[in-house]
Structure 1
Amino acid sequence: MGRRIRTGMKPMARRPRHGLPDAAARGEAGASAVEFAIAAPALLLALLGSFQAALLYQARAQLEVATQEAVRAGTLHGARVEAMRDALARGLTPLYTHGQNLSALAQGYATAKVAAGQATIRVLSPTREAFDDFAEQIRDTSGAWIRAIPVDHLGYRQTNVGSGSHLSVQDATLLKVQITAVQPLIVPFIDQIGRGIYQMDKGLGNVGLPSLFGVRLSPMTGVDGKTRWGIPMQAEAVMRMQSPVLAEGLPSKASLGQGQNTDPGNDEGEDFNEVIPIYDENPDQPGSPADTPPPGACTGGSPFDN
Structure 2
Amino acid sequence: MLVSNDIGIDLGTASILVYIKGKGVVLKEPSVVAIDRDSNKIMAIGEEARLMIGRTPGNIIAVRPLRQGVISDYTVTEKMLKYFINKAVGKRTLRKPRIAVCIPSGATEVEKKAVEDATYQAGAREVSIIEEPVAAAIGAGIDISKACGNMIVDIGGGTADIAVISLGGTVVSTSIKVAGDDFDEALVRYMRKKHNLLIGERTAEEIKINIGSAYRRPEVLKMEVRGRNLVTGLPKTIEVTSEETLEALREPAMQIVDAVHNVLERTPPELAADIFDRGIVMTGGGSLLNGLDQLIEEKTGITTMVAEDPLTAVAIGTGKFIEFQHGDKKEQEFN
TM-score, normalised on structure 2? Answer: 0.20
Q: Hey, which of these two has a bigger chunk of strand by percent? A: 2
* Max Rg structure: 1
TM-score, normalised on structure 1? Answer: 0.22
